[in-house]
Structure 1
Amino acid sequence: MAEREGAIVKKGHEEGLKTATAILAEFELPCGLLPVAEVIEVGFVRGTGYMWIQQAKKVEHNFKLITKLVSYETEITGYVEKKRIKKLKGVKAKELFLWPPVSEITVDDPPTGKIHFKSLAGITKTFPVEAFAAGQ
């Protein structure tokens, strides 16, 4: 687990959620992007941007504004940078009958109010950023 070396690690739901939300906010990503439940641990390596979230159980969340069902595994990992998460693992979005894994999330810079989700299959979907605001 060399990628986790030097990480800031927070245990427990309260601390973990606060840390995850703070990281999203710092990198100008919507705070409702990762609606996790029963967080066990959140870790972040500032030097590389590597982040992980462990939660007690898999979560399915329906983003109401865009009627999109998204599945979050018990472990979510990725590299966070300004307005972007890349090499994302543990997140899938329902597309018709398939659940392609989401591998990258990018917010337009300069801001246009759009956020883009890219799957490993090369499919890109664009939505309004406000669909992923906290509480959505």
Structure 2
Amino acid sequence: MADPKEGGTIKKGQQEGLKFAVSILEEHGLPLGLLPLADVIEVGFVKTTGYMWILQAKKVEHNFKLIKKLVSYDSEITGYVEKKRIKKLKGVKAKELLMWPPVNDIIVEDPPTGKIQFKSLAGITKIFPEEAFAAGQ
């Protein structure tokens, strides 16, 4: 099987990596605060397939205040980015009552409604206002 990272652009370090991750989100019409990263080691993106990977020094938990939702980001996050969507996402979990179901699909509604959907393999779909994931949230 071919390496999904083959032919990818790689940026190393917190500043370059974060800037690159935000530019990928922006280019695909996704909220810029979707991936609150810390201690970024590497961010990579393969333009032809949309494959993106992010390596951080450690797991990060972020509380999205507007929607009162705690989200966990593993030290390695991978997924396929396309217009208004991230699919086959790995490494992101949202706290749901006492469980942490993995989020594997993020979709910004198109035509725009100001809403964003999060789907898990467990069949849970949650819809939130996009503004909850704006930069700085």
Give the Cα separation in 1 of the matches to 2:41 and 2:74: 13
Aligned-pair CA distance for 1:67: 0.1
SS in 2 for 1:4: coil
After superposition, the C-alpha distances for 1:15-59 in whole angstroms (9 at most, x for unaligned) are 000000000000000000000100000000000000000000100
Give the Cα separation in 1 of the matches to 2:97 and 2:123: 16
What is the aligned partner in structure 2 of residue 35 from structure 1?
36
| Alignment pair present for 1:112 and 2:116 | no
Aligned-pair CA distance for 1:95: 0.1
Superposition CA RMSD, Å = 0.6
After superposition, the C-alpha distances for 1:113-132 in whole angstroms (9 at most, x for unaligned) are 00000001010000000000
Aligned-pair CA distance for 1:80: 0.1
What is the aligned partner in structure 1 of residue 88 from structure 2?
87
Given residue 107 of structure 2, which amino acid in structure 1 is its aligned partner? T
What is the aligned partner in structure 1 of residue 70 from structure 2?
69
> Where has structure 1 moved over 6 Å in runs of 4 or more?
none
Aligned-pair CA distance for 1:2: 1.0
| Alignment pair present for 1:57 and 2:58 | yes
Extract unaligned runs of 5+ from structure 1: none
**Percent of pairs identical after alignment?**
76
Give the Cα separation in 1 of the matches to 2:133 and 2:27: 16
TM-score norm. by structure 1 comes to 0.99
Give the Cα separation in 2 of the matches to 1:51 and 1:83: 14
What is the aligned partner in structure 1 of residue 134 from structure 2?
133
What is the aligned partner in structure 1 of residue 45 from structure 2?
44
What is the aligned partner in structure 2 of residue 20 from structure 1?
21
